[in-house]
Structure 1
Amino acid sequence: MAAYRVRVRTGTAPAAGTSDAIAVTLVGTRGSSPRTVLDRWGPDFHCGAVHKGPCRGLPESSWYLESVTVWGQRGDSAGDSAGDDSDDSGDSAGDNDPDDVTHLGPFHFPCYRWLEGYGTWELPEGTANVPPLSPEYVVQHWQEDAFFGEQFLSGVNPVLLRRCPRLPPKFPVTPPMVAPSLGPGTSLQREMESDIDIFGVSPQLSQEPGPDSPIFLPGDPPWLWALAKAWVRSADFHVHEGLTHLLRAHLLGEVFALATLRQLAPQHPLFKAVALGRRGLLALVARGLRALRWRSLVLPRDLRHRGVAATKRHHFGNDATKVWGAIRRYVSGVLALYYPSDVAVQEDPELQAWVWEIFKRGFLGRQRSGVPSHLDSVRGLVTFVTTVIYTCSAHHAATNSGQRPLGHFPELHFTEPGPRLLIRRFRRRLRRISRGIRARNAALERPYPYLDPENIENSVAI
């Protein structure tokens, strides 16, 4: 049996305290504790000194929560209850300290934000962690060409790589230039025509072939070749952070969320189903938005358009396709409960207003973007909603790495048996995908964990 002490810290800003009822639940790998009320009567969570709800008829008051810290003891004398520790006394749980008692923690749960209204906020434990591709590995292998190339295939920006069936006219690479890198028994043309593997062509630093636009090769002096690769990685970093991550995950996520809040009533099924240098950056994002096309957001279309749908060793594409399929089946099942026909989609004014706002506000009403301005079929609605959820969850996880597991919803909006059954099936499907990915990763020197459903958050949180 284990007992835990909980210390809650309120911010020091004026009016940071609250008179609302505060309770805490500890969630671990073996279960969760009962909800334990922490406050007493009145504004005891004041400066200096997580469910938040009404307290004896008092009006709601905001609360700035800094952090929660938990200590624990496991053993015969540890007791079986959790309590609050708001006096910073530092006393240990239990009166005895026998040798068989195991001390747990401290575990820190940072928050540092205002909690408005009533509800439950999930605070993940704050210990930093890294995926299996650790810094240590990068230190050992960062100069290797194979590792450099794999970052474009299965790194943090895997959505730009395209199959190259022929060399661009502004890229005057000849077969002899790359023959030493390809090895015997093949050629540049054969590799470009191959259906098995993919070879990305590094972008040029200038666009006009000639003496002022050199082509760097692995046979160049080592540090010259390393510098050329560093320039390419730098360019990829700016595109990744500005477009792949910020624009396609965060900013589009805000568009979807705002349109949901403004156009859909809380009772609408889609309200319950969807998850949610400065000048240079803004210019890059604006340029990226102008070039953004709907097909690049719909995963199966994007993989086919880039020619990588059937590429082996493309762990992003393989894992993303499975996650996309699970999300689509869940979305299709839920929407079938509320939209029995295409006419039902066409005649839902809230739904059409939601789609129109995303098209008009988020994509600036650009017809050439391919973003739907209205929906006239159940199939189109399923694709649209799947794209929204995938963009705000799996796409963000692949380009940022994860927090809260996909399919685990902190707010229980659906109360009907049908949707709740579909949620349970969705979770089982995700668990099967997770087991398959982990089994594959166990045999890989450099695992690809980013689209393991256990690492995909429900929505964009950071």
Structure 2
Amino acid sequence: MEMYKVHVATGTSEYSGTNNYIYVTLVGERGESERTLLDNPGLDFCRGAVDEYVVRSARPIGELLLVRLEKQRYWVEDNWFCRYVRVEPHAEPQGGARALTFPCYRWLIGDVTLELREGTAQRWCDDTLPLLRDHRKSELQQRQNIYRWLQWAPGIPKCIDATSEADLHQDVRFDNEKRSDFEGSLHYALIELSLKKFAIRFGKSWDDLDDFKRIFWKLRSPIAEYVMDHWKEDWFFGYQCLNGCNPRMIRRIHRIPHNFPVTADMVQGSLDHRTTLHRELDAGNVYLVDYAIMDGITANVIRGKPQHIAAPLCLLYQHPDDGLVPIAIQLGQTPGLATPIFLPRDPPLAWLLAKMWVRHAEFQVFQVLSHLLRTHLVVEVFCVATLRQLPAVHPVYKLLAPHLRYTLEINCRGRTQLISSDGIFKRVVSTGGEGLVQLSQREYRVLKYTSLQPRHDFTERGVDRLPKYYYREHSLMLWDAIYSFVSGMVEVYYATDREVFEDPELQAWITDVTKEGFSDIPQFGLSSELGSRKELSTLLSVVIFCSTAQHAATNNGQFDWCAWVPNTPCTMRHAPPSDKDAVTMAMIMDTLPDVSQSCLQMAITWHLGRVQPDAVPLGQYTEQYFTEQRSHEVMERFRAELKDIEDHIVKQSDGEALKYHFLLPSNVENSITI
């Protein structure tokens, strides 16, 4: 008679426990143990519990291969979340026997049977027993039936086949606490929105810019209040091009675009008095933010009133004393009498309104492209492919799983609540409805894999030397740390490039990514084969970087930069001005979002940009998918490097009135959860 101690860990979130019957069977190379009922239903498997049992076998079962869990209904159905099962010989270990951990981190729903692999990561070639290979195949067949591809709209990355979050499997849904907090936060924001609208409706509406202060109630932040005080200043406009909610647009130029006829005389007063425009172009001190992608996008209609869109060009200069400042703005892609070039020396209200139009374009590009498309939708492709093509025992699955947590649900909620035909964007954003799909399609057609890699992106945009570009500096530090971590993990499991190329599950995964998820994207540049450890390490680093650092850079500050509505307006209610001298305060107030739109912009950016109470910081792994010592050592080095980055950023910002802390590792979440 052989006996084993079996420890079964129940999840720690609300409703993880169960009062149903739970059975366990140990499956070995030479047979199976007794099918054992684990104690009395209702007494064990409480939330957060680790319960201990004894499992017997009449004869030796040999090397332990699988743990089979079964759940059966007792009175009423009661789902159960299992974290892991740990098995050890009941007597003193002999002959090298040791405790084995079988990670689960899954829900058992209904009367169901689930078989778990031991935690050591195994590639296809590492499994030689038919039982284990059949287990891999069966797991993937089940997952491919559950997780299917869908084209939500033509010309954008494919997504999970789910009409709403309710269609998702419980394994990829929010925990109950997360769901309650998400819905409670939205409810709170909308209640304050309603109260503001009620309070203001019977008083005066927007007459001047100070009126926007009337919607700053409990929803506020130090940066948002700093924005309120400094948003008109040119240096602050330039700062936001570097470190604001969309810091990826600015690029260095050496000649003025043909459709932006800025002359040296126009900008001479904005340059250092010792130089000229041509000298500064040659020296690499002139930069451009170009929103050509907005040209011709269909504008939204809100409450029967057409909204307006512009496609500005903004020229910026790195002044030796004043920093990066705007020196010329054109509010359309076609120059002419109706599209004047606005300059800092123009009437102050005209220059201010021109900057508002640039910031309005910034809101559209930031929300739809930099945030939604280039993080949420890109990462969803890898999430779906990982669930479809990599078994839980595969090292790449174990590596990516913590970085894909909650992404499918938040994206489903985004498609139904935010960007749908009757969602929040349609109610308040100038590109809501048809426009945001057009915008996404344009960006997707020209999206390049290398642009998702920060070092390539900064080099291609020529912004390597821009001072106080904290987004660039911190992104590169995090990219290097992530790449070092990923390549270290890849080297643990792949000794040669050939092993990468000959891994059939890995090749099926990259094929699913490129042929299904990123179909119809001619310039993307990601091969449908993985031929080396470097290629694999780079790709996995891109996935983790996009789901952590890049998402944090665009998501976490959206309330800070957008709460003061004139700084980053979600919509514009009148067309761009064609006469500089005709701009009045009344024109500006009639152009900016109205009371309702302003309140909703503030409420939703607070809801989506706030710190999540259940956030798992970058590099922290609450679910222990890996059990090998070498893997844990790589993780520890990663965490130590992140700690050094944290200390550097904190020290760098010490004494600064405006701190760039969006990429502090402790502020970067491990996955896209909001």
Do the structures match in fold with TM over 0.5?
yes
Shift of 1:412: 0.8
Identity %: 39
Give the 3 Å change call, closer, same or farther, for CA 53–278 of structure 1 in structure 2: farther
Is the CA contact 1:322–1:433 (under 8 Å) kept in the aligned structure 2? yes
Which string of whole-angstrom CA distances, capped at 9 and with x for unpartnered residues, describes residues 260-292 of structure 1? Answer: 000111111110112222322122112211111
Secondary structure in 2 aligned to 1:322? helix
Is the CA contact 2:251–2:288 (under 8 Å) kept in the aligned structure 1? yes
Shift of 1:312: 2.1
Secondary structure in 1 aligned to 2:238? helix
Alignment match, 1:199: 287
- Out of 645, 649, 668, the position equivalent to 1:433 is 645
Alignment match, 2:240: 151
Alignment match, 2:226: 137
Q: Which amino acid aligns with 1:364?
A: S
1:256-405 to 2 correspondences below 5 Å: 256-274=382-400, 275-276=403-404, 277-401=432-556, 403-405=615-617
Q: Is residue 216 of structure 1 aligned with residue 371 of structure 2?
A: no
Shift of 1:205: 2.6
Q: Which amino acid aligns with 1:200?
A: L
Give the 3 Å change call, closer, same or farther, for CA 265–198 of structure 1 in structure 2: farther
Q: Is residue 184 of structure 1 aligned with residue 182 of structure 2?
A: no
Is the CA contact 1:18–1:61 (under 8 Å) kept in the aligned structure 2? no
Secondary structure in 1 aligned to 2:641? helix
Shift of 1:131: 10
Secondary structure in 2 aligned to 1:206? coil
2:351 and 2:548 mapped to 1: Cα distance?
37
Give the 3 Å change call, closer, same or farther, for CA 52–9 of structure 1 in structure 2: closer
Q: Which amino acid aligns with 1:20?
A: T
Give the 3 Å change call, closer, same or farther, for CA 188–404 of structure 1 in structure 2: farther
Secondary structure in 1 aligned to 2:646? helix
1:388 and 1:41 mapped to 2: Cα distance?
42
1:250 and 1:52 mapped to 2: Cα distance?
34
Moved more, 232-241 or 394-403: 394-403
Alignment match, 2:623: 411
Alignment match, 1:30: none
Q: Which amino acid aligns with 2:443?
A: G
Alignment match, 1:67: none
Is the CA contact 1:355–1:375 (under 8 Å) kept in the aligned structure 2? yes
Shift of 1:444: 2.6
Secondary structure in 1 aligned to 2:341? coil
Secondary structure in 1 aligned to 2:251? coil
Q: Is residue 237 of structure 1 aligned with residue 363 of structure 2?
A: yes
Shift of 1:235: 0.7
Shift of 1:445: 2.9
Moved more, 116-125 or 260-269: 116-125
Is the CA contact 2:444–2:521 (under 8 Å) kept in the aligned structure 1? no
Q: Which amino acid aligns with 2:650?
A: R
Which string of whole-angstrom CA distances, capped at 9 and with x for unpartnered residues, describes residues 32-56 of structure 1? Answer: xxxxxxxx949xx9xxxx6499999
Give the 3 Å change call, closer, same or farther, for CA 120–149 of structure 1 in structure 2: closer
1:279 and 1:61 mapped to 2: Cα distance?
43
Alignment match, 1:92: none
Shift of 1:145: 1.0
Secondary structure in 2 aligned to 1:200? strand
Shift of 1:221: 1.3
Alignment match, 1:452: 664
Q: Which amino acid aligns with 1:426?
A: F
Q: Which amino acid aligns with 2:288?
A: G
Give the 3 Å change call, closer, same or farther, for CA 218–420 of structure 1 in structure 2: same
Which string of whole-angstrom CA distances, capped at 9 and with x for unpartnered residues, describes residues 424-444 of structure 1? Answer: 110010010010011111143
Which string of whole-angstrom CA distances, capped at 9 and with x for unpartnered residues, describes residues 227-269 of structure 1? Answer: 1111111111101100100001111111110010001111111
- Root mean square deviation, CA, Å: 3.5
Q: Is residue 168 of structure 1 aligned with residue 323 of structure 2?
A: no
Alignment match, 1:99: none
Shift of 1:461: 0.4
The TM-score with structure 1 as length reference comes to 0.74
Give the 3 Å change call, closer, same or farther, for CA 318–9 of structure 1 in structure 2: closer
Alignment match, 1:108: none
Give the 3 Å change call, closer, same or farther, for CA 52–250 of structure 1 in structure 2: farther
Alignment match, 2:307: none
Secondary structure in 1 aligned to 2:620? coil
Alignment match, 1:421: 633
Is the CA contact 1:272–1:414 (under 8 Å) kept in the aligned structure 2? yes
2:220 and 2:481 mapped to 1: Cα distance?
23
Is the CA contact 1:158–1:316 (under 8 Å) kept in the aligned structure 2? yes
Is the CA contact 1:295–1:302 (under 8 Å) kept in the aligned structure 2? yes
1:458 and 1:174 mapped to 2: Cα distance?
48
Alignment match, 2:78: 61
1:56-95 to 2 correspondences below 5 Å: 59=73, 61-62=78-79
Give the 3 Å change call, closer, same or farther, for CA 454–194 of structure 1 in structure 2: farther
Structure having greater relative contact order (Cα 8 Å, sep ≥ 6): 2
Q: Which amino acid aligns with 2:226?
A: Y
Query: Greater CA radius of gyration, 1 or 2?
Result: 2
2:286 and 2:470 mapped to 1: Cα distance?
12
Moved more, 258-267 or 128-137: 128-137
Secondary structure in 2 aligned to 1:423? helix
Is the CA contact 1:21–1:53 (under 8 Å) kept in the aligned structure 2? no
2:637 and 2:528 mapped to 1: Cα distance?
31
Secondary structure in 2 aligned to 1:199? strand
Shift of 1:123: 5.5
Secondary structure in 2 aligned to 1:134? helix
Is the CA contact 2:446–2:523 (under 8 Å) kept in the aligned structure 1? no
Which string of whole-angstrom CA distances, capped at 9 and with x for unpartnered residues, describes residues 103-155 of structure 1? Answer: xxxxxxxxx99994699959589999999861110111111111111111111
Which string of whole-angstrom CA distances, capped at 9 and with x for unpartnered residues, describes residues 320-364 of structure 1? Answer: 000000000000100001111111111011111111111122321
The TM-score with structure 2 as length reference comes to 0.52
Is the CA contact 1:61–1:116 (under 8 Å) kept in the aligned structure 2? no
1:102-141 to 2 correspondences below 5 Å: 116=170, 134-141=223-230
Secondary structure in 2 aligned to 1:335? helix
Q: Which amino acid aligns with 1:427?
A: R
Q: Which amino acid aligns with 2:516?
A: R
Give the 3 Å change call, closer, same or farther, for CA 9–325 of structure 1 in structure 2: closer
In structure 1, the gaps of 5 or more residues are 1-7, 11-16, 23-39, 64-111
Shift of 1:193: 3.1
Is the CA contact 2:232–2:352 (under 8 Å) kept in the aligned structure 1? yes
Secondary structure in 2 aligned to 1:296? helix
Aligned residue pairs, count: 379
Q: Which amino acid aligns with 1:231?
A: W
Alignment match, 1:71: none
Is the CA contact 1:179–1:187 (under 8 Å) kept in the aligned structure 2? yes
Alignment match, 1:20: 18
Secondary structure in 1 aligned to 2:673? coil
Q: Which amino acid aligns with 1:151?
A: Q
Shift of 1:21: 6.4
Which string of whole-angstrom CA distances, capped at 9 and with x for unpartnered residues, describes residues 37-91 of structure 1? Answer: xxx949xx9xxxx64999996546359xxxxxxxxxxxxxxxxxxxxxxxxxxxx
Q: Which amino acid aligns with 2:642?
A: L
1:26-37 to 2 correspondences below 5 Å: none
1:271 and 1:358 mapped to 2: Cα distance?
14
1:444 and 1:285 mapped to 2: Cα distance?
36
Q: Which amino acid aligns with 1:205?
A: L
